[in-house]
Amino acid sequence: MASIASTPPLTRASVLAAHDLISPYIHLTPLLTNSTLSSLASTPQTPSALKSTPWEGETPANPKIRLFFKCENFQRVGAFKARGAFHALKRLIAERGIEEIRGRGVVTHSSGNHAQALALAAKTFSIPAHVVMPNISTPSKIEGTRGYGARVYFSGSTAAEREAVVNEVEKETGAFLVKPYDHPDIILGQGTMAVEIEEQVAEMLEKDPGLGVRGEKGHGGKLDAVITPCGGGGMLAGNGVAWKGMGTRVFGAEPSFQGADDAKRGVEKGEMITGVKSLTIADGLRTNLGEWTWKIISDKEHVQGLFSVTEKNIRDAMRLVLERMKCFVEPSAVVGLATILYNEDFRKMVEREAGEEGWNIGVVFSGGNTTVEAIGKIFAAASEEEAERQEGVLGMDGARTAENVAG
């Protein structure tokens, strides 16, 4: 990475400068709407849907919401990570010179999306790339990384295990480390999507005011809120920096499975949580926050709230996106939408704070790096689990009924 001493301040102005720097190398990804999903978001959940959740027996929330989807699944390498990788590499080249970088190469660790992003950025500038990936990474992400010319090394799944292998590669090769999320250059790069979202929403609502909750022309196309997935926190932190002081609230969404919601729990506890080890289907969100992302995400002036969702919530949201939007996404991409549709704490907050007027909410689809086979396995496993649960509840398997009901 470029040295911290030379890094631009974490401000909106720096995000705008980062956008100018990387614009030649990234796609302007589309902003989409979907009336069906906005309608579902604005419809109370049924009492049966809330059964066996923390909100069982409560009156379902009834918020008014219009959704605007920033589709980073159409970004280069299929994920938003291209933004941070290109920005970090351009900053490093500016500081150290292209010849030194080419002579030593770059190294990083990633479950897949940053791996591919840095491999592409390095290939663009003819720089050798070394990438450490967890041995449980999605095969398509591993092959994608190799396809961009990077040399791949394998490690355990935790951040500490990844970093240990990175240290070995650094010693062997002399490569410059390009962190996957926990550095100002990465954070500023990821925040560039906010610049585009703001402009795209304003243009969209100017042409068709009826797409928004208020429906009046000349409102300015302002989003009331933006929600992004949160793993290592680079994207959420970048959006927090970009939107600070702009009147748009920023929220983060995480999987709850096996403690993957470390950001949410850490903020509630007032202390950063490390050592997350989760096998959530949202594989891009299995990483805990870093020091830089923690500072931003735990600051209410940047990020106004964090919410978590279950594996079922993620699957249900993914099914809706695939079937209703005809949009190919990976599980990590839909945790924000799942929060809006199924997390009653979030929905009640919108109902309470927005009132009758409602909110326009930007939802970031972070990536689409998965396969048809992987998606099939996710839904096949879910169907088997549901069949076993129903079998137990209905008493069709006497030997397991008590176990299933109790579990």
Token pair 């940053």 is found at 114
Domain regions of the chain by residue span: 4-79+187-373, 81-185, 374-406
Which residues of the chain have a pLDDT value below 50? 393-407
Q: Which of 14, 38, 42, 81 is catalytic?
A: 81
How far apart, in whole angstroms, are the C-alpha atoms of residue 121 and residue 42? 41
How far apart, in whole angstroms, are the C-alpha atoms of residue 242 and residue 159? 27
pLDDT tens digits, 168-185: 999 999 999 999 999 999
pLDDT of residue 258: 95
pLDDT of residue 222: 84
Q: Which residues pair with 251 in a beta bridge?
A: 227, 305
Q: Which of 14, 110, 111, 137 is catalytic?
A: 111
**Does residue 2 contact residue 185 with C-beta atoms inside 8 Å?**
yes
pTM above 0.85, yes or no: yes
Ranges of beta strands (E only) in 212-304 are 225-229, 249-255
pLDDT of residue 389: 58
Domains 4-79+187-373 and 81-185 share a fold: yes
Tokens of 361: 């909410």
**Closest to 275 in 3D by CA, of 253, 264, 290, 293:** 290
Q: Which CATH architecture has domain 81-185?
A: 3-Layer(aba) Sandwich (3.40)
Tell me if residue 179 is catalytic: no
Report the top-level CATH class of 4-79+187-373.
alpha beta
Tell me if residue 308 is catalytic: no
3-state secondary structure of 188: helix
Token pair 């920033």 is found at 70
